[in-house]
Amino acid sequence: LKHYVALSLILTVIVSAILTIPTVAASRLFLVWMHTPDNILSMADAYIKVIFAGIILTMLYNVSAGQMIHVKSQRIVQKLHPR
């Protein structure tokens, strides 16, 4: 079980890095493609970079929460149906 937990966390970090790096690097280009007005472009770029940089934290939180819920449900099942 420890192996699977560690593997899922490592995979989460890898996938989130694959998503984060290009989106942060190209955020200004995305905003230009969406015809963002020039007077708010720099502020929108800073905002969107913060959002995209948070991908790794969001993904780690979701995976960790799922693992904790799984462990908790396993303990409840073991108490209800002891071997």
**Total-model pTM:** 0.72
Which residues make Cβ contacts (< 8 Å) with residue 5, sequence separation at least 6? 67
Q: Which amino acid is at 25?
A: A
Q: What are phi and psi of 37, to 5 degrees?
A: -60, 145
Give, for all 83 residues of the chain, the pLDDT tens digit: 678 888 988 999 999 999 999 999 999 999 999 999 999 999 999 999 999 999 999 999 999 898 888 888 877 777 777 77
